């Protein structure tokens, strides 16, 4: 069947030849067939980004099905991120990468796998949330309420420590959901956790700290931030129980940075024994623990792990962000520090940029207080879990020699490859098949010691192209592990240089 009627939506016509094949011998599966057909057309590029689809009543008439069936199929594909529906614009194919964390609407410039220079926006990123799931309507409603109710005098410079409304909302939320023990005047609002860490390095350096212990592996940007702050990052190995905290006593460090609820990139949780050992070390050494709690709310197969800060507020600095649970575009994060350190952090924040913008802070405060954040998390967790499950099933079926890790929470997996496998070559082969993978070695302090591994984000991936790509990738991996054919004598054949893939740099 084809649809060939003029659309009344803004933007002109919908496709004149929208081919959707339905098997009438299975009438109960017509909606699933329609959804599958549209997914396949989008994945193949038959329906490019921005393409307007026929109105539901038109497509229903053309296919001789009920309008509610078409509406249901469209709504499901909007939820999955394939389509977007806006008043006045109809239903369109959403601008997005195929799979693997490509930023929405970002064009592919240059060859696949081209690495951007420092400061450029990375095209491929692992572990990002799906931008299509951002609660636009509710956020806009709260934003309008903020603008309507805000006194004129509050449209001047905001306080450097953050808007009181957001600090109060976070104090209640973090205490209830993460077990953080704090008062409103101990919360400082920052432009994401990256800025919070930068401010902490500056503040601790002024207090005589010269070295900070970090997980190995850890998020590579954190090592850069520590060095840029004039301090030295000291790597401490991570194993299946998290950071090897027994090594801290032998190190000359004044603080330690880690993500105890979901270490990046390994995804492991700091064990109960090591949590106790870490806090005992901090008390004995009179040192500080910096807790990066970046995605603890996104858990699927385990009970919540409470924040370390709740066990020892005097020695633990707690940091968080909305980059994973809402959107990194908001650039909102926070740090909860002991009272004796809060003033120093506020002064450093004031010297850096005066303050974080106020309207987003006030909107987030209303979003939290109204229950919007809790509702959002209840909505997205099942969706992310389903995408993770599809990815794990595809890996089991087509890449059984790959060992995924960190699957209990978050938005990414660490894929450990068989010994002798070249991650760069596999990443290049994956890019050619529509899957973006990140070689994980850069997150080790010494990349040369890293095991062969890749990172894959499933936050913005969708089932059909993902399974197809993993299947093709499995064939490529088996070919790489098989004995290589030698070039015939005199052929001059040379082994191609592995292509490089783009790596993520922002949280």
> Are the CB atoms for 51 and 92 separated by under 8 Å?
yes
Asked if pLDDT for residue 119 goes beyond 60, the answer is: no
Please check the confidence at residue 160 and state whether its pLDDT lies above 90: yes
Burial class for 162, CB neighbours closer than 10 Å (0-12, 13-18, 19+): buried
pLDDT of residue 432: 76
Q: What is the pTM of this model?
A: 0.73
Question: Is pLDDT of 200 > 50?
Answer: yes
pLDDT mean over 354-377: 97
Mean pLDDT of 378-393: 94
For residue 9, pLDDT beyond 70: no
Angstrom distance (rounded) from CA 477 to CA 430? 10
Domains in the chain, please, with CATH? 27-93 (1.10.10.10), 98-134+373-507 (3.90.1150.10), 157-370 (3.40.640.10)
Q: Which of 118-127, 142-151, 254-263, 466-475 has the lowest mean pLDDT?
A: 118-127
What pLDDT is attached to residue 492?
A: 40
- Report pLDDT digits (tens) over 255-283: 999 999 999 999 999 999 999 999 999 99
CA distance 338 to 344: 11
Percent of the chain with pLDDT over 70: 83
82-104 b/e with 16+ CB inside 10 Å = b?
A: bbbeeeeebbbbbebbbbbbbbb
CA–CA dist 473, 486 (Å, integer)? 23
Segment 177-198 shows an average pLDDT of: 97
Closest CA to 459 of 371, 374, 390, 396: 390
Does residue 317 contact residue 200 with C-beta atoms inside 8 Å?
Answer: yes
Residue-level pLDDT at 27:
63
Residues 309 and 318: beta-carbon distance below 8 Å: yes
> Would you state the pLDDT for residue 463?
63
Alpha helices (H) in 445-486, listed in sequence order: 463-481
Percent of residues, the chain, with pLDDT higher than 90: 60
Q: Which long-range contacts (CB under 8 A, 24 or more apart) does 9-12 make?
A: 9/52, 9/55, 9/88, 9/89, 9/90, 10/88, 10/89, 10/90, 11/52, 11/89, 11/90, 11/92, 12/52
Residue 162 near residue 156 (C-beta atoms within 8 A): no
Model pLDDT, residue 49: 86
Distance CA 260, CA 242 (A): 7
What pLDDT does 17 receive?
Answer: 53
**Residue 131 DSSP symbol:** G
Beta-carbon neighbour count of residue 25 at 10 Å? 6
């Amino acid at each position: 069947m084809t649809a060939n009627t003029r659309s009344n939506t803004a933007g002109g016509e919908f496709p004149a030849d929208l081919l959707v094949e339905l098997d009438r011998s299975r009438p109960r599966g017509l909606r699933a067939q329609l959804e599958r057909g549209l997914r396949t057309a989008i994945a193949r590029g038959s329906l490019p980004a921005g393409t307007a689809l026929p109105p539901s009543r038109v497509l229903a008439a053309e296919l001789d099905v009920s309008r509610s069936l078409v509406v249901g199929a469209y709504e499901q594909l909007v939820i999955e991120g394939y389509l977007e529906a806006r008043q006045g614009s109809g239903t369109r194919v959403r601008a997005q990468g195929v799979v693997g964390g490509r930023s929405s609407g970002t064009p592919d410039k240059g060859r696949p796998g081209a690495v951007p220079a420092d400061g450029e926006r990375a095209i491929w990123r692992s572990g990002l949330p799906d931008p299509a799931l951002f609660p636009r309507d509710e956020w806009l409603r709260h934003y309008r309420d903020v603008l309507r109710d805000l006194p004129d005098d509050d449209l001047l410079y905001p306080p450097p420590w953050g808007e009181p409304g957001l600090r109060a909302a976070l104090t209640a939320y973090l205490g209830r959901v993460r077990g953080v023990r704090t008062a409103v005047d101990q919360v400082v609002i920052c432009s994401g956790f990256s800025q919070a860490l930068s401010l902490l390095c500056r503040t601790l350096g002024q207090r005589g700290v010269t070295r900070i212990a970090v997980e190995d592996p850890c998020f590579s940007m954190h090592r850069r931030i520590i060095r840029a702050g004039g301090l030295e990052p000291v790597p401490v190995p991570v194993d299946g129980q998290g950071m090897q905290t027994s090594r801290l006593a032998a190190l000359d460090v004044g603080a330690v940075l880690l993500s105890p609820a979901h270490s990046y990139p390994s995804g492991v949780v700091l064990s109960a024994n090591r949590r106790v050992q870490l806090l005992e070390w901090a008390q004995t050494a009179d040192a500080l623990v910096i807790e990066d709690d970046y995605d603890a709310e996104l858990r699927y197969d385990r009970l919540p792990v409470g924040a370390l800060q709740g066990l020892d507020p005097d020695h633990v600095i707690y940091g968080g962000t909305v980059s994973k649970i809402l959107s990194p575009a908001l650039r909102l994060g926070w740090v909860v520090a002991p009272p004796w350190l809060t003033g120093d952090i506020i002064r450093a924040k004031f010297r850096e940029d005066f303050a974080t913008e106020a309207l987003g802070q006030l909107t987030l405060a209303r979003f939290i207080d109204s229950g919007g954040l809790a509702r959002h998390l209840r909505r997205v967790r099942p969706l992310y879990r389903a995408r993770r499950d599809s990815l794990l099933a595809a890996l089991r079926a087509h890449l059984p020699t790959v060992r995924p890790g960190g699957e209990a929470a978050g938005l990414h997996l660490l894929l450990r490859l068989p010994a002798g496998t070249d991650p760069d070559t596999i990443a290049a082969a994956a890019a050619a098949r529509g899957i973006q993978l990140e070689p994980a070695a850069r997150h080790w302090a010494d990349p040369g010691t890293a095991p062969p591994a890749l990172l894959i984000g499933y936050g913005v991936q969708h089932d059909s192209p993902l399974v197809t790509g993993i299947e093709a990738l499995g064939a490529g991996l088996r070919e790489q592990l098989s004995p290589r054919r030698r070039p015939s004598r005199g052929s001059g054949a040379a082994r191609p240089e592995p292509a490089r893939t783009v790596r993520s740099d922002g949280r």
